[in-house]
Amino acid sequence: MNQLDHAFLLAQEGGGGAGAAAVGAIFMIIWLAVVVFVIAGMWLTFTKAGKPGWGAIVPIYNMILLLEIAGKPIWWVILFLIPFVNFVILIIVCIDVAKNFGQGAGFGLGLAFLGFIFYPILGFGSAQYKPVA
């Protein structure tokens, strides 16, 4: 029996499948917990701004609500569909959302690039929605 045959037999015996499944299940549970936490943070952020919280889970409607919270025109939703332009628009909108909650531009950049951390901070935190004129 050569080394290739021996490796093939070891691969067929298995035994590592249960461990991999357990790691995958744990990863999935952690991932779902993070997703629920981020959705709750966005839900509370929308609610603080006087918008329906359920809008956080509706794909295009949540962008419309973010534009309203940022004080931007609704037609900007079209700009989210243009590649590369959408990144610039997202940064502008997130900075304006942060400003309307009394936060700075750095917090707005956090919303744009690390939204899974900053939206829960905004939603669960003490920030109040006060639109900047």
CA 98 from centroid of its chain's CA atoms? 15
- pLDDT for position 21: 85
Report the pLDDT value the prediction gives residue 5, as an integer from 0 to 100. 60
Question: What is the per-residue pLDDT for 10?
Answer: 52
42, 62 in Cβ contact below 8 A?
A: yes
Q: How confident is the model at residue 17, as a pLDDT?
A: 75
pLDDT at 18: 77
Residue 131: closest CA among 75, 55, 50: 50
Separation CA 14–CA 24 (nearest Å): 17
Can you tell me which residue has the tokens 């700075």? Answer: 104
Per-residue pLDDT of the chain (133 residues; tens, 9 = 90+): 566 565 555 555 555 677 788 889 999 999 999 999 999 999 999 999 999 999 999 999 999 999 999 999 999 999 999 999 999 999 999 999 999 999 999 999 999 999 999 999 999 999 999 998 6
Q: What is the identity of the amino acid at 18?
A: A
Do residues 96 and 68 make contact, with C-beta atoms less than 8 angstroms apart? Answer: no
